[in-house]
Chains A and B, each alone.
Chain A
Amino acid sequence: MTLAEKRKLGSVLVVGAGVAGIQASLDMANSGFYVHLVDRSPSVGGIMAQLDKTFPTNDCAMCVISPFLVEVGRHLNIHVIPCSELERLDGEKGDFKATIVNHPRYIDTEKCTGCGQCRQVCPVVAINEFNCGLDLRKATYIPYPQAVPLAYAIDRNACIGCGMCEKVCLAGAVTYDDKTKITELEVGSVILAPGGEMYDPKEADSWSYSHPNVVTSLEFERILSASGPYRGHLMRPYDREEPEKIAWLQCVGSRDINRAKNSHCSSVCCMYAIKQTMIAKEHSAHELDTAIFYMDMRTYGKDFDKYYSRAKEERGVRFIRSRVHSIEPVENGNLRLRYVKESGESVEEIFNMVVLSVGFKPSSGVETIAKKLGLTLNEQHFFRTGDIRPVATSRDGVYVCGVSHGPKDIPQSVMEASAAASVATSDLSSARWSATRTPQLPPETDFSKMVPRIGVFVCNCGINIGGVADVPAIREYAKTLPHVVHVEDNLFTCSQDTQERMKQVIREKNINRVVVASCSPRTHEPLFQETIREAGLNKYLFEMANIRDQNTWVHKNNPDLATAKAKDLVRMAVAKAEYIEPLHQVKLDVKPAVLIVGGGVAGMEAALGAAEQGFQAYLVEKTDTLGGMAHQLRKTWQGEDIPAYLERLIKDVTNHSKIQIFLNTKPVHFTGTIGSFTTTLNDIHTGNPNGIIEHGAAILATGGREYRPEGYQYGNRPDVMTHLDLDQAMKDTPATVMNADTIVFIQCVGSRNSDRPYCSRVCCTHTLKNAIELKKIKPGMNIFVMYRDVRSYGFRESLYQEARALGVHFIRFDPENPPQMNIAENNILTITVTDHILQRPIVISPDLVVLAAAVLPNENKELFELFKVPVNAEGFLVEAHAKLRPVDFGSEGLFLAGLAHYPKSIDESIAQARAAVSRAVTIVSKDGIMVGGVVAAVNPDRCAVCCTCVRACPYGIPFIGNEGHAVIQQAECHGCGVCVSECPGKAITLQHFTDQQLIAKTRALFYQPAMNE
């Protein structure tokens, strides 16, 4: 076979269903590929599902991740394979055969309805891993209530085989004889996201971890969690007392080659420790004293430094720069910490509780997978990846994302997941939609003009409902309600056979509204909507009464009142059903093209990515050259050659038939909605139009620049330069640098101050890299780095270690007392800085001063206003959600990448650009976008053009159209209904949640119209 004839498969394999695996799966499934998602555990979600809150917004982790879990679980083109592992991978890129081992679960996920009856009767308890062993669960268990798939599993290590669960399971889902199975999957590419684990402090006995009041940060996360072992009540494990004083110890199991043998920085612990102090203070009824013991505070991400100062200045968190050398249990369950202050003073302090900020290590799966697939690991046993191809492994067609190739936070994992999704499918674009499934549906029956004929299905949910409330009484009662033509009760309304029966009954009895009284619409509404749609009903002709989660489960001891409440809820649901209308979604055409604004590395990678996926890319650049900032860089942090890469990238972009480049150009007009935008481009110099383009999505990669420092004689003397000046000099006139005998690097020039209260993220690494290079060429050179915190996060920590080993001097300074520059009369330059260890000023006469100047976003006020995208106080673009939507804008169809978002290194920019492509392709790969449904609709006759909706909409969607009334595009509306209740003229309706429907529910609670009314 020749290369061209090689088979390309339209399905892909994702290993690991944490937040990275989930994101990669969703992106690929939403852009035309069938995804097999394998995870070792019984459910998806990974570590994020265990977290209480997420930094720096203190969002509830479960609240933000659960919609993603549900989407994965219900997606027609994602095949979730829990309790399974990848055993081997044969074949090659485009055409792999993956062998999967399916471990027994002992409960059939197809039959299990998640009712939990098995757990209720299970007599055996086992350690609850989800709560980090702080409490117990049954041997028959579900890891957490929101788990997907919502099916139980039996822990056979704990199970005594009593058979109780099998007896009570009315669904017949328990299979004690379940065996290990082997399945083979054919996939075009593989994404590995097996994630990380937290370092286990038991591995070294230095932290008194065996003491119950010394907990790891993940254990503390569960302690804080409202769904955790203590239900969110802040208590210490030893005596369940509320602690008054808690210490956090940073770098446990990371940046530690003595006790833990892990040299890398775990990247996330500084931030999560700060978060935990703040949340713990919120949970504490009294004043809680919190202290963080740290080496460097590495708050290098977007809005992280602000979070750090808020903790320090507003919340009174104590930050103590010291490595605690002993933790000793004392009376009353307390712990005595001994440490040495920076001043040299030795201190002893008693704490009620100690949290060990444990670092990430690769999941145990990483090494196994690497062996089985023949992949290379790095020195820290994570998957090895480079900078220019940040998500590629050493095997072609196998990609990686998330913590398995380096410690990182959630947004970085999500970004990489999207990047891996786009790179993994770019070679498979010819097979797009070839392996996916589409639902086959009958046409919708037209019920307009017909009186409501309502069918009510009351669920017993095994005994979950019927065991408390009187279901037959509810059923008989429902028969008396207006417009009800059919009522039945089911053992499980959600089971496959009842679904089939429901369809049959709908057809036989001409039912045109369906009410199900069972569990929560949050979990089951989509399932029932699908069923009635298969019976020819519009999916909105459906209403639910939550008589389990919000009734029988919570009023177990009050069966009569629970029955009465269930009747009320059914009556209310029937009352709303009378008024519900079919809603029709409209299909809008999609323009299969992507506009990219900004021709730097991020913009070019995005254009190339879109083109490789088979879509037209329009790359718009305001200057006359491509490449942007990267022209001034020499090497990535791992030493890869940037100029060679840049030359290749520019060539690829320029030669690609699907990329059209517009230089000296800016967008001047932009209209349209997701899937169909029109942008007018003008020549930046002449102002003449040079194109009107139509595109389905747009990516803004407008880049950033280096701050030109004020002070330190910058610009006045050739021996004072910035990082980029140094790179330029090393390239053009290396002698000017190499002649120097003493060089001083000053960090944080223009960043982390009141003007720019953010960390520029790349400067510490850049300084370390240059210092190492200079030291290697000229070992006798004296190099001083004056810093506030060394922020060599992740594996970059190895640079810090190398620099110190080479004899680079690091001198820390306080922001209140920065290094002073003096120019003597003889023009000799000196730098004076107060050394913290010596506690006295040091005077250095360098031959060269290098300023680590801040990274600024490019100013593009007009452009950002044109696209209506938000910027923060520092001028960086603001993404839709700091954690889970790091490359999306709030406005649908618009994405961002690169320095315009936040300072970042070139590998991170490349990953983000590829991620933006992945997100854009989920739109442009479709032949149409369905819009409408639960959205706001304006009645023009009632609109007084007061613009309240225009101001109130959180997304800025409403506008006043040419016809003189407010317009809300169906394609853009998110359906929150804020405008509806704000509109003083009541001109706006939220479909499916109309005033009439909601008030009908209220009225029905107190008043029942007669059958003939």
Chain B
Amino acid sequence: MSDWEPKIIAFFCNWCTYGAADLAGVSRLQYPPNIRVIRVPCSGRISTKFILSAFREGADGVWVSGCHPGDCHYIEGNYYARKKFLLFKNLMDHMGIEPGRLHFAWISSAESTKFQKIATEVCDSVKQAGPSIQFNKRAGLPAQAHLS
């Protein structure tokens, strides 16, 4: 278990958080290598279905991040995201998801240090939560069905 590394799916909006992740790179800010980013135009594009399917496929954690309220490239797409994820988080809590698996944050494209900080926190808290079994459709299947 000691060499277990979690896999975290991250959905980032193109204009803010994806830019912050790039800027963290340009600034060579180091953070744990557990995050796999899927780029979308706007956090408003992210549907709760993506989060559920990520857990179902085997993600140990999911991180959704977009522009700060008021900074949205598409005026107000991130307000929809915020509203939706507040509700969704409640639902996931109700369904008994372990704390520390699902994360939301708002990071602008200039905030590389904030990105580094939150990326590290997300990785740490998913590590704490351990491998995700509850929602994983392949949990318990023979090992070759997994990739790691």
Contact = CB atoms under 8 A, between A and B. Distances in A.
Q: Do A and B bind each other?
A: yes
B21 A998 contact: no
A999 interface: yes
A1006 B24 contact: no
B59 interface: yes
A550 interface: yes
Interface string A888-913: 00100000000000000000000000
A976 B74 contact: yes
B125 interface: no
A998 B50 contact: yes
A858 interface: no
B53 A993 contact: no
A63 B19 contact: yes
Contacts of A463: none
Nearest to A52: B110
A990 B45 contact: yes
B113 A232 contact: yes
Interface stretch (A152-160, A223-231, A355-363): A223-231
Contact of B57 (A551, A982, A1003): A1003
Contacts of B109: 60, 62-63, 66
User: Interface extent on B, as a size class?
Assistant: 35 or more
B7 A1006 contact: yes
A981 interface: yes
Interface stretch (A295-303, A429-437, A561-569, A964-972): A561-569
A934 interface: yes
Interface stretch (A509-517, A552-560, A729-737): A552-560
A368 interface: no
Interface string B65-81: 00110111111110010
A226 B111 contact: yes
A1007 B53 CA distance: 13
Given A225-B110, A550-B21, A977-B44, A522 B71 contact: no
B41 A993 contact: yes
A145 interface: yes
Contacts of A999: 49-50, 53
B70 to A, nearest CB: 7
A849 B117 CA distance: 61
Contact of A145 (B26, B36, B113): B26
Given A553-B26, A557-B30, A1006 B42 contact: no
Contacts of A1008: 147
A975 B145 contact: no
A555 B24 CA distance: 11
A521 interface: yes
B146 A555 contact: no
Contacts of A1007: 57-58, 138, 145-147
Interface in A209-266: 225-227, 231-233
B29 interface: yes
Interface in A620-634: none
Interface in B1-53: 5, 7, 9, 14-16, 18-19, 21-33, 36-42, 44-50, 53
A60 B71 contact: yes
A974 interface: yes
Given A976-B42, A977-B42, A60 B110 contact: yes
Among B16, B47, B49, B53, the most chain A Cβ lie within 10 Å of the Cβ of B47
Nearest to A983: B47
B114 interface: yes
Nearest to B37: A550
Contacts of A977: 40-42, 44-45, 77
A976 B111 contact: no
A823 interface: no
B36 A568 contact: yes
B110 A954 contact: no
Interface in A534-583: 546, 548-551, 553-558, 561-562, 564-565, 568-569, 571-572
Contact of A232 (B16, B22, B28, B111): B111
A807 B57 CA distance: 80
Among B5, B26, B75, B111, the most chain A Cβ lie within 10 Å of the Cβ of B26
Contacts of B129: none
Nearest to B13: A976
B118 interface: no
Interface in B69-111: 70-77, 80, 84, 108-111
A226 B77 contact: no
Nearest to A572: B36
Contacts of B44: 976-978, 981-982
Among B21, B39, B46, the most chain A Cβ lie within 10 Å of the Cβ of B39
A522 B146 contact: no
B21 A549 contact: yes
A324 to B, nearest CB: 32
Contacts of A548: 25
B45 A1005 contact: no
A981 B23 contact: no
B18 to A, nearest CB: 7
A427 to B, nearest CB: 36
B115 to A, nearest CB: 9
A556 B14 CA distance: 24
Nearest to A978: B44
B30 A890 contact: no
B53 A561 contact: no
Nearest to B62: A1002
A562 B36 contact: no
Nearest to A464: B25
Contact of A63 (B39, B47, B71, B75): B71
Contacts of A57: 70
A1005 B57 contact: yes
B14 A522 contact: yes
Contacts of B116: 554
A572 B147 CA distance: 12
Contact of A995 (B30, B33, B47): B47
Given A60-B71, A145-B23, A954-B77, A569 B36 contact: yes
Among A934, A998, A1002, the most chain B Cβ lie within 10 Å of the Cβ of A1002
A63 B41 contact: no
A137 to B, nearest CB: 13
Contacts of B23: 145-146, 227
A58 interface: yes
A980 interface: yes
A59 interface: yes
A917 to B, nearest CB: 25
Given A63-B19, A993-B40, A1002-B38, A553 B25 contact: yes
Contacts of B28: 553-554, 556
Contact of B9 (A66, A146, A226, A1005): A1005
Contacts of B18: 520, 522
B111 A1002 contact: no
Contacts of A993: 40-41, 45
Contacts of B67: 63
Interface of A: 52, 57-63, 66, 116, 145-146, 225-227, 231-233, 520-523, 546, 548-551, 553-558, 561-562, 564-565, 568-569, 571-572, 890, 934, 952, 954-955, 974-978, 980-982, 990, 993, 995, 998-999, 1001-1003, 1005-1008
25 contacts: A59-B70, A63-B110, A66-B109, A116-B26, A226-B114, A227-B27, A232-B113, A550-B22, A550-B24, A554-B116, A568-B147, A569-B36, A955-B75, A975-B41, A976-B41, A976-B45, A981-B47, A981-B84, A990-B45, A1005-B9, A1005-B59, A1006-B7, A1006-B57, A1007-B58, A1007-B145
Interface of B: 5, 7, 9, 14-16, 18-19, 21-33, 36-42, 44-50, 53-54, 57-59, 67-68, 70-77, 80, 84, 108-114, 116, 138, 145-147
Given A232-B114, A556-B30, A934-B41, 6 more contacts: A225-B110, A232-B113, A550-B24, A554-B30, A976-B77, A977-B77
A-B pairs, 10 with minimum CB distance: A977-B45, A549-B25, A976-B74, A978-B44, A981-B47, A553-B25, A1006-B58, A145-B26, A954-B75, A976-B42
